[in-house]
Amino acid sequence: MRFALLLCAAFAVPASLAAQTCALEFTIEVTRGVGDIPPGTELMGHAEFTTEGSFRQEGGSTAHLATGTMALNDTISGPVWALITTSRDFTSDLVGIYAHHVTGFTFAGSRFDGPMALTLYGTPGTRPEPVPPMTQDEWDSLALRRTFQLHSNNGDMLAGDVTALQADCT
């Protein structure tokens, strides 16, 4: 019986799409500063990633395993390990890009080693499927809220609003 349920679940989940490669350039305006990066500072960032398969998670989200790099001001960087997407009719749609093992930023003895996240929200129904956006218009449709966070090893974080985002995906 358990085998039959697992088999049914496997066919109920959309098949993994072909690998998607994206290069993103983004600007954040800092809202929660740290050290010599006060609120109001603009920081430039970029992310390059290739998706490598996906699986459904609880609550209707889908995890897309990925490889690549996310960087802020070319000095703070970490490997991208996943994108998380949601696509539902009753709550905001979401695309989050997540990096871990971040290096390049320490303040007052705290290492800001991640996770580092770029999280884009759209109104419910913005994303018809729980897959990463492909075109610039699809990325632009996630305009309800756009945030960036970099967490430290002691609970502090550098955070801001994403004010610009350019995407090139294949």
Which pLDDT value is given to residue 87? Answer: 86
User: What pLDDT is recorded for position 132?
Assistant: 94
Position 91 scores a pLDDT of 83
| In the chain, where the domains are located | 2-169
Q: How far apart are CA 3 and CA 114, in angstroms?
A: 38
| pLDDT less than 50: residues of the chain | 1-16
- Kindly report the pTM of this predicted structure: 0.85
What's 2-169's CATH class?
Answer: mainly beta
The model's pLDDT over 3-15, given as tens digits with 9 standing for 90+, comes to 343 333 443 444 4
